[in-house]
A and B are shown apart, each in its own frame.
Chain A
Amino acid sequence: MTTTLAERDAGTRPEAGRAVITGIGVIAPNGFTTDEYWDAVLHGRSGLGRVTRFDPAQYPVKLAGEVADYDVHAYVPGRLVPQTDQTTRLALIAMDAAVGDAGLDLAAMPSDQIGIVTGNSVGGLEYSQRELEKLWSAGSNHVSAYLSFAWFYAVNTGQLSIRHGLHGPGGVLTGHTGGLDSVAHARRYVADGLPVAVSGAIDSSLCPLGWVIELTTGRMSTVTDPARAYLPFDHAASGYLSGEGGAILITEDAGHARRRGARPYGEIAGYGATFDPRPGSDREPGLRRAIELALWDAGVPPAEVDVVFADAAGVADLDRAEAAAITAVFGPRAVPVTAPKTTTGRLHSGGPALDAATALLSMRHGVIPPMINVTDPVASDRLDLVLAGPRETRVGAALVLARGDGLNSAMVLTAP
């Protein structure tokens, strides 16, 4: 916040209203649980492969990061199965994991003291494609009574709040930075006095309609080798791959966490959000300013940042712009930059939430996971990319970056 570094070092920074993360629930293409995922990113194990959810043969892109098949009835109450899309099922599973990880007994807390805000970019699209098909092939009276709330962007916040009996404030922030923006918004809830706020994002668009929609960006890689398709900051960058999943994060008032003996992963220390000038403008893109706002908000100077989790678009001009923003703030090769999302693909709004989770796990374990497959980095980027294996180091402060069609979000997380 606006506390000075001297105050922070002297331990005089007030605890009230400070938000820490005490629970993480990850669902990713290379890990159905947080532990599985963390082991995978440390060992560079990729979850990218040929699409199996539908037959991609006719499409120019055939690779994605799919969450492995699971027995939905083992994880999701039977009543909810017919009314939920994959995105909501994954969110329900991730939230259970996050609450368990935090060691919180939500039912024992005053329910109006627990808030929830999630990011979302897609809604329940596979479910919707099935219902659109019924409408247009069979007629309006064949449309499911559940569609009205299985599709819309608010579905995960709604279903999670009902499932866990959360009566506090609820919110939904859409777009590809939503995974970070939701965490920042949960921090506002905590600053306003809530002891606990659920945050994060899970997205999935893995159905033929979602696939065709995303193809129109022209930014997906058509390379067919999963190890050569998504290569951010590499000379051979050819676009990105899409995936599903994300992370749910339990945001908690620092004092509340301390009093119940919870062990925080880290603190949400700073956040900044900006929007790019209109395409074609000669004004500077907004990412550098988002980084500076987040650092200012955190009271953390650039030299104290131990790692940057990059947005890593995998598209040449976007990679150059991100490298320019990072070096403008930190200087050339002054901070390790990584992109574990090279093992998962880009997960819409779920991606930045997963990056925040990964940054927190780095702090906990004192190791920065690498980006994989990148072998020929663009030298003029002047980035210290974490390649060829994890880097063991103390991570006291991490910067997480997210972009999406003009939106820029940056978050500083600090070790407890």
Chain B
Amino acid sequence: MNTMNRRVAITGIGVRAPGGGSTKEFWELISSGATATRTISLFDPTGFRSQIAGECDFDPVAEGFSQQEIRRMDRVAQLAVAATREAVADAGLEVGEIDPHRTGVSVGSAIGSTMSLEEEYQVLSNGGSKWLVDHEYAVPHLFSYMVPTSISGEVAWVVGAEGPVALVSTGCTSGIESVSHAAQLIREGSADVMLTGGSDASISPICVACFDAIKATTPRNDDPATASRPFDRTRNGFVLAEGCAMLVLEEFGHAVRRGAHIYAEIGGWGVRANAYHMTGLRPQGHEMAQAIDVALRMSGRAPEQVDYVNAHGSGTKQNDKHETDAFKRSLGDHAYRTPVSSIKSMIGHSLGAIGSIEIAACALAIESALIPPTANLHEPDPELDLDYVPLEARPADLRTVLTVGSGFGGFQSAMVLTKGDPDDHDARRA
């Protein structure tokens, strides 16, 4: 480990999200304000409290996976590998020009291969009837399903990465924390190129039951397309989703030297534990504000320079108030002048993936000079008094963008993306 302060560029993006089977489709959806939440089709949700999800129309065969790969990889890994392939192609990285020893992987996932674990559990336990589950029926890849580094390993194999490979799992902030980890490794000199992002395949009975049990997800089953309502007075819980975004990060000079397109720069990041509650949020958003402060300081940006905030915006009563308070605490009066939006209104909350999907959205927003809106925001909540960019995307020159997340386990994360000018003298000022 050394103490270098190298800059980090985003040069490739791959997305598999509800309503978007590619980065392009994803951006078209969220910049149009359309929603992709629907009644669960991946299993029969009858009897569950919340029966809505953001599902990916993901076909592993059409994505080019072999039958052997489909058996080996849980859907969470398939999503990650497909998104990685897109990101690597988008970055224009040829496998032959990558130095394997200087290339690493950091993937975030909150719940790993839960989908396969649950399916196999049903078989091994004969539908939940045996405590002493039957090993004779176990499939050979069960162990890879339990230990989630198998997902980052699959990603490493896409390009033959032999540098540091990690799977970061901090609940619903995993998608920010994994990218922060990757950026840290480039910053300190442990790698030059990182494949990083987040993936979760959460639409399974046990996962839906988990959130049912704590009434965190919305029961608005009669209106799935408008069920995710961040910052709206009528919001009543989040919409569970699945998805993945993978990014190619490069040391800035590495990207410049090979003439890569730079979407944005990762300017800074911060994380705080709230030490309060495994699922609850402390009032006033103190820890999230601290995470934001740390991220801004690292990026060499003042609060007044923030042009857009991509909110966690899950659509629970508690969260949306919590982070509105946090934005005011860290940005001061500037919070009232800063557009804030939640793309979870359109694609739901994909746990450990969404942080990375939102980082991708921020990079694309900078690139397109367009702020994606908060869909379904028809009735403002009088308690929430910031500019939440309702319903329609808004053109804006974006030079500094903030994205945040909160997760079970009491994690609050923030990341600052900047435009990525080669002669940015504020970058790495901290």
Chain A positions within 8 Å of B, measured between CB atoms, are 1-2, 17, 54-55, 58-60, 83, 111-112, 115-116, 120-122, 125, 128-129, 131-141, 143-145, 147-149, 151-155, 157-159, 161-162, 164-177, 181, 184, 187-188, 191, 205, 208-217, 270-271, 273-278, 281, 283, 286, 289, 297, 348, 404-407
CA distance A131 to B114 in the complex (A): 13
**Is B39 interfacial (CB-CB < 8 Å)?**
no
Docked-complex contact B132 and A58, CB < 8 angstroms: yes
Partner of A148, one of B138, B139, B145, B279: B279
Docked-complex contact B212 and A140, CB < 8 angstroms: yes
How far is the CB of A236 from the nearest CB of chain B, in Å?
24
**Is B239 interfacial (CB-CB < 8 Å)?**
no
Nearest residue, chain B, Cβ from A218? B140
Counted as pairs of residues, one from A and one from B, with CB atoms less than 8 Å apart, the total is: 273
Instruction: Tell me the dominant secondary structure on chain A's binding face.
Output: mixed
CA distance A173 to B49 in the complex (A): 33
**Quick check: which of B18-26, B79-87, B104-112 contacts chain A, the rest being far away?**
B104-112
**Is B401 interfacial (CB-CB < 8 Å)?**
no
The interface residues of chain A lying within 8 Å CB-to-CB of B47 are 139-140
**Is B300 interfacial (CB-CB < 8 Å)?**
no
**Is B234 interfacial (CB-CB < 8 Å)?**
no
**Is B124 interfacial (CB-CB < 8 Å)?**
yes
Given known pairs A132-B128, A161-B410, A286-B162, the reply for A188 and B170 (CB within 8 Å) is: no
CA distance A17 to B273 in the complex (A): 21
Nearest residue, chain B, Cβ from A125? B146
Interface size bracket, B side: 35 or more
The interface residues of chain A lying within 8 Å CB-to-CB of B134 are 212
Which of A149, A159, A214, A278 has the most chain B CB atoms inside 10 A of its CB? A149
How far is the CB of A274 from the nearest CB of chain B, in Å?
6
Chain B positions within 8 Å of A, measured between CB atoms, are 1-3, 47-49, 100-101, 104-105, 110-112, 117-118, 121-122, 124-125, 127-129, 131-135, 138-150, 152-153, 156-157, 160-171, 174, 177, 181, 184, 188, 190, 205-206, 208-214, 216, 270-279, 287, 290, 407-411
The interface residues of chain A lying within 8 Å CB-to-CB of B49 are 140
Docked-complex contact A158 and B410, CB < 8 angstroms: yes
The interface residues of chain A lying within 8 Å CB-to-CB of B145 are 213
Docked-complex contact A137 and B138, CB < 8 angstroms: no
Docked-complex contact B149 and A274, CB < 8 angstroms: no
Docked-complex contact B177 and A171, CB < 8 angstroms: yes
Partner of A152, one of B104, B118, B409: B409
Partner of A55, one of B132, B160, B411: B132
Given known pairs A122-B146, A145-B213, A167-B274, the reply for A153 and B135 (CB within 8 Å) is: no
The interface residues of chain B lying within 8 Å CB-to-CB of A171 are 168, 170, 177, 181, 271
CA distance A270 to B274 in the complex (A): 30
The interface residues of chain B lying within 8 Å CB-to-CB of A59 are 135
Partner of A277, one of B118, B139, B162, B213: B162
Docked-complex contact B409 and A154, CB < 8 angstroms: yes
The interface residues of chain B lying within 8 Å CB-to-CB of A149 are 171, 278-279, 408-409
The interface residues of chain B lying within 8 Å CB-to-CB of A278 are 157, 160
Known: A17-B3, A174-B166. 7 other contacts (CB 8 A): A147-B210, A151-B111, A152-B111, A167-B290, A174-B149, A213-B145, A407-B149
